[in-house]
Structures are given as C-alpha cells and as structure tokens.
Amino acid sequence: MKALVINCTLKKSPEPSNTEALFRTVTEQLEREGVEVDVVRAVDLDLAPGVVSEAVHDGDDWPGVHEKLLASEILVMASPTWLGQPSSVAKRVLERMEGMMSETDDEGRPVACNRVAGVVVTGNEDGAHHVISQITGGLQDIGYTIPGQAWTYWNQGPGPGPSFLEGGIGHDWSRKTGRAMAANLLGVARALTANPLGAPPQ
C-alpha cells in the first residue's frame, strides 16, 4: 500500500518545515505498518494555476503529482495556517486536484473513489479546525473517503507565539493524535481495498 504526503508549506527545500515535523509522526506510523510513503513539497514545484490534470504550460509539474496521486491509496494533505486559512500552496494543490472530478477509472468510478485522505495542520495561531474542514471538504468533493479523526494539528492558539519546532505546549497530544490518524487512514484504506465501492448508479 502507498501513501502520498503533499506538504503545502511556504518554505522551499531545504528550509526546515514545521508542518513536516508534525506529519512525520503520521508517516512513521504508516511506515511501521509497511506502507510505502512518498512526500512532495509542493512549493518546490512549478504548479501552474488551473483546474486540469494536464500540463498548463511547458514545465508545469502537476502531471507528475497527479500520477503520484493515482498511485497512492492514502493521501495526506499538510498545511500551515495563515490568517486562519490553508496556505496559498494548499489552495493551488486543491484547485489542480479539481481536474480529477471529471476522471473515471475503467469501471466508471471517480478516480479518487476507494482512496482515503487526511489532513495535518500547524500554526502559531488558531484556526486549525477551519483549515481541516476546508481541505477535507474539497477532498470529499473530489471523491476521497475521509475516515473519522483523519487529522492532527498543532496550533499555538490566539495571538503570536512559537512555531512547532520552537516549542510551546501540546506536542504530545498532536503526535498521539497523528498516530491515531495514521491507524484510521490505514484501516479504512485496507477495508476499501478488500471491499471496493462500485461505480455510482446511473
């Protein structure tokens, strides 16, 4: 089984990412269960504006990400919180993923059908639940199954404060919740693999 993490940090590699520091709790748990994990840092790529899976211009990197999405049973979207919103990079990724809504497999099912997704959020402000609901809402529209408690987050709370890597409270809770998130994603992914949903009625 394969999992893809799309890290929607604003920081280009190799700059340390607070969002990555938290999602590694999830991926380490998945890897312990034998899941093959691939990570994409979207800001490192040329992702053109648009709502299609095909390249918008020469050098558009989205088709490669699209291939990784179709090769993975599990998707983790990871985003920082800025002004109580998902990052602009996360919004760009979701916009490009909208192209999947018109794609079907050989049995007429939406290509995201029988795949699961979850969300990881960090930020030194509040707003994590809003970010989670925005991202999961979009992923459900595309066709992903969102298991119960398929998220973890670390938000410092109202007002300025340290980032995840700088300290603060709540790290143990965030990591414990991340491990539970991984277990829930994997459990539902395995169930859908064993008993896949059929094509929608016509």
Task: Average the pLDDT over 123-136 and give the result.
Answer: 93
Task: Average the pLDDT over 150-158 and give the result.
Answer: 89
Residue 167, classed as helix, strand or coil, is coil
- Looking up tokens 């109202």, which residue turns up? 158
Contact present, 126 and 83 (Cβ < 8 Å): no
Mean pLDDT (the chain, rounded):
95
Task: Say if residue 94's pLDDT is above 90.
Answer: yes
Q: What is the pLDDT of residue 16?
A: 95
Task: Average the pLDDT over 71-87 and give the result.
Answer: 96
Q: pLDDT digit string (tens) for 156-196?
A: 877 778 889 987 778 999 999 999 999 999 999 999 999 99
Task: Average the pLDDT over 127-150 and give the result.
Answer: 97
Q: What is the pLDDT of residue 157?
A: 76
Q: What is the pLDDT of residue 131?
A: 97
Task: Average the pLDDT over 124-128 and give the result.
Answer: 87
Task: Say if residue 6's pLDDT is above 80.
Answer: yes
Q: pLDDT digit string (tens) for 10-19?
A: 999 999 999 9
Q: What is the pLDDT of residue 55?
A: 95
CA 186 to chain centre: 14
Q: What is the pLDDT of residue 101?
A: 95
Assessment of whether the complete model's pTM goes beyond 0.85: yes
Q: What is the dihedral of CA 7, 70, 26, 80, to 10 degrees?
A: 20
Q: What is the pLDDT of residue 200?
A: 86
* C-alpha atoms less than 13 angstroms from C-alpha of 27 in its C-beta half-sphere: 22
Which burial class, exposed, middle or buried, applies to 83 when counting CB atoms under 10 A from its CB (0-12, 13-18, 19+)? exposed
Contact present, 119 and 70 (Cβ < 8 Å): no
